[in-house]
């Protein structure tokens, strides 16, 4: 039995015993805020390709139903952060965040959030928003997955010298990594990378046309970003190119370009930030402070406490692999008390 199976079984026993409800009703839980991280909701079959990033529409809806069944108070993000600092949270407080600002947020998540009357923010990486191309690495990975029963290669022009079986996930990942290296060495921009993805699709006999037509792995357009803002969804910072440069100066430039794009689309200045891929370091904190950023969320998994640094806030990262027992245990707070890791480890959750 795997460690994950043992943990899930233990959490199920705890929840069934009623201990979860006791923790959820405690003063300890009321002093803490659960910052919930969604990533994507499938337009087609993205959750089958990458369940760590995408939920099916059914599972997404079930999450929102579970908040109600477990007695969670889902607050607007700003209010949740303010009440955490003031020590004035209601019981089982939760705020909802969604990473990246994908088109699926606009067409899949927003209508369901509105149906349930739940507030949410999305952290937007703006580079692909203005260009309306599929995100390079994700598109390459997804297209190879769609033809996973085939052989691929060689492709010596990009450094792939042998034929590989696309049924092997590690072989697909190696191809994507090599394409990243090839594009990086040549300082390719978004349009050039998209040409490379199209060439990959042609060689693999994958359907790039359908991917583009359905806007799979695309971000919201600036017009859709503005529409989301007018409908009450917060649009916040995630860097322009979804990256954390080593240089604080380059990081500052990323923030400012990201902020300018959001201001142009929404008319409001964003003040909340999410570290792309959960990567953070102490050298970034002075830049965030100088740029007027009020909060920054990581992918470290824990409940936020009054003592949590506002620029290093933990979140619970939701994925398709999470059992109902795990979800409930984070809503009540049991999982934070029993299984708290120090840094984000996708394999652990």
As separate numbers, helices (DSSP H) first and strands (DSSP E) second, the chain gives: 18, 12
| 102 and 75 Cβ atoms separated by less than 8 Å | no
pLDDT at residue 347 above 60? no
Cα 347 to Cα 349: distance, rounded to the nearest angstrom:
6
pLDDT-based confidence at residue 23 (cuts at 50, 70, 90): confident
- For 4-28, letters b (16+ CB in 10 Å) and e give eeebbeebbebbeeeebeebbeeee
Tokens of 175: 């191809």
* CA proximity to 81, closest of 71, 93, 70: 93
131 burial type by CB count under 10 A (0-12 exposed, 13-18 middle, 19+ buried):
middle
Q: Residue 19: enclosing H or E segment and its boundaries? A: helix 19-24
Could you count the other beta carbons within 10 Å of the beta carbon of residue 99?
A: 25
pLDDT in tens, 104-157: 999 999 999 999 999 999 999 999 999 999 999 999 999 999 999 999 999 999
End-to-end Cα, the chain, rounded Å: 16
Tell me the average pLDDT of the chain.
94
- Beta strands at 151-152 and 164-165: parallel, antiparallel or unpaired: antiparallel
Q: Is 141 exposed, middle or buried (0-12, 13-18, 19+ CB in 10 A)?
A: buried
Per-residue pLDDT tens over the stretch 272-309: 999 999 999 999 999 999 999 999 999 999 999 999 99
Other residues' Cβ atoms within 10 Å of the Cβ of residue 147? 17
**Pair 275, 298: CB distance under 8 Å:** yes
Secondary structure E strands in the chain: 34-38, 40-41, 54-55, 73-74, 93-100, 121-124, 151-152, 164-165, 234-237, 272-274, 295-297, 316-317
What is the per-residue pLDDT for 3? 67
Identify the pLDDT of residue 230: 98
Cβ-Cβ contacts under 8 Å for 85 (sequence gap 6 or more)? 306, 310
% of the chain surpassing 70 pLDDT: 95
Confidence of residue 339 (pLDDT cuts 50, 70, 90): low
Q: Which residues of 236-263 are buried (b: 16+ CB within 10 A; e: fewer)?
A: bbbbbbbebeeeeeebbebbeebbebbe
Q: Report d(CA 299, CA 302) in Å as an integer.
A: 9
- HSE (side-chain half, CA atoms, 13 Å) at 134: 25
């Amino acid at each position: 039995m795997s460690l994950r199976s043992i943990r899930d079984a233990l959490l199920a026993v705890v929840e069934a015993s009623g201990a979860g409800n006791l923790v959820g009703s405690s003063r300890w839980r009321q002093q803490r805020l659960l910052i919930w991280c969604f990533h994507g909701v499938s337009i087609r079959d993205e959750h089958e390709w990458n369940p760590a990033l995408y939920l099916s529409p059914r599972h997404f809806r079930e999450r929102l139903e579970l908040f109600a069944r477990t007695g969670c108070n889902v607050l607007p993000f700003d209010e949740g952060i303010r009440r955490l600092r003031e020590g004035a949270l209601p019981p089982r407080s939760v705020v909802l965040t969604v990473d990246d600002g994908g088109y699926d947020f606009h067409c899949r998540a927003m209508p369901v959030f509105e149906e349930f009357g739940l507030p949410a923010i999305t952290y937007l990486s703006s580079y692909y928003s203005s260009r309306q191309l599929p995100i390079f690495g994700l598109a390459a990975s997804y297209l190879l997955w769609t033809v996973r029963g085939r052989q691929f290669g060689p492709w010596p022009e990009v450094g792939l010298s042998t034929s590989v079986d696309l049924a092997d996930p590690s072989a697909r990942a190696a191809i994507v990594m090599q394409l990243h290296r090839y594009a990086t060495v040549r300082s390719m921009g978004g349009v050039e990378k998209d040409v490379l993805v199209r060439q990959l699709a042609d060689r693999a006999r994958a359907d790039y046309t359908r991917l583009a037509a359905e806007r799979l792995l695309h971000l919201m357009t600036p017009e859709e970003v503005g529409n989301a803002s007018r409908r009450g969804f917060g649009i916040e910072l995630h860097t322009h190119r979804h990256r954390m440069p080593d240089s604080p100066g380059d990081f500052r430039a990323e923030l400012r370009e990201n902020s300018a794009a959001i201001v142009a689309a929404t008319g409001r200045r964003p003040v909340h930030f999410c570290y792309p891929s959960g990567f953070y370091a102490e050298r970034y904190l002075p830049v965030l402070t100088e740029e007027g950023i009020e909060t920054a969320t990581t992918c470290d998994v824990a409940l936020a406490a009054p003592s949590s640094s506002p620029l290093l806030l933990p979140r619970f990262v939701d994925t398709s692999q999470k059992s109902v027992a795990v979800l409930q245990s984070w809503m009540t707070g049991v999982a934070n008390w029993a299984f708290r890791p120090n840094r984000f480890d996708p394999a652990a959750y």
